[in-house]
Amino acid sequence: MRVSVVLLLLFVLTAMPIVTMRWIRPWTTAFMIQHDFAAGAACDRFTYPWAPWRAISPHVPVAILAAEDQRFPAHLGFDFQSIADALEDRGDGRRLRGASTISQQVAKNLFLWPAHSWVRKGLEAYLTVIIELAWPKRRILEVYLNIAQFGPCTFGVAAAGEVFFAKPAAILSASEAALLAAVLPNPEHFRVDAPSARVRQRAAWIRQQARNLGGPAFLGTL
């Protein structure tokens, strides 16, 4: 009986802040705090303005979904097809690719740490389930767009728009959105403001994938 009470309390304590974030923006994230400590004096200003959904160009979420999670509208937090494909690649000796969904990345960035471990993956899965139950899909994507890292000391699409293109997130073009999405695998290494040939190639692929999804009309499925 006591074990069940403890488990219930743990669930309530973890679920309550997540539920409130359906309406209230997170002021910071675990990844931002870790980055801030690691960067130290390298960051003159920790850039983290918030852009609500209506203030974000529709090209940006479409590009992010095209690059990171094309099954986002249909899955419940876990893309089992991508997981199976990644495991097959690993079994064939090919480079291991990521299979995390947008929902999993939100859970990880908000509350956890970047190092790979079974403990972290287990916590990530648990938090992902709560997020999927508590938030609509559009809210999950809105939070992701505001906490994703696009460059050193630059978190969120509002900061990225101003830092890299000198314009608000609301008027970012399809090409600019694809370039932002292209650096997400490693925003400390890949550069939006000085894109390598690899980043430009990936951005072109993302633009094509976004067109294949139907462009901004794809957001109507959320």
* Domain CATH code at residue 54: 1.10.3810.10
Averaged pLDDT for residues 198-207? 96
23, part of any domain? no
- pTM (two decimals): 0.90
Question: Token digits for 134?
Answer: 């508590």
**Which percentage of the chain shows pLDDT scores above 70?**
88
pLDDT at 72 over 80: yes
pLDDT confidence bin for 152, thresholds 50/70/90: confident
Do the domain assignments include residue 107? Answer: yes
CA 59 – CA 49 distance, rounded (Å):
19
pLDDT at 97 over 80: no
C-alpha distances out from residue 30 to 64, 105, 148, Å: 21, 12, 12
Lowest mean pLDDT among 8-12, 44-48, 125-129, 160-164: 44-48
**Res 66 pLDDT > 60:** yes
Q: What is the 8-class DSSP label of residue 90? A: H
102 within a domain of the structure (yes/no): yes
Range(s) of the domain holding residue 116? 30-38+45-221
Q: Which of helix, strand or coil describes residue 154?
A: strand
The mean pLDDT value of the chain amounts to: 88
Q: What are the C-alpha distances in Å from 153 to residues 41, 156, 209?
A: 11, 10, 28
Q: Of 12 and 156, which is predicted with more confidence?
A: 156
Cα–Cα distance, 71 to 57 (Å, whole number) = 21
Does residue 208 fall inside a structural domain? yes
Q: Does residue 19 belong to any structural domain of this protein?
A: no
Cα–Cα distance for residue pair 52/158, rounded to 1 Å: 9
Number of domain units in the chain = 1
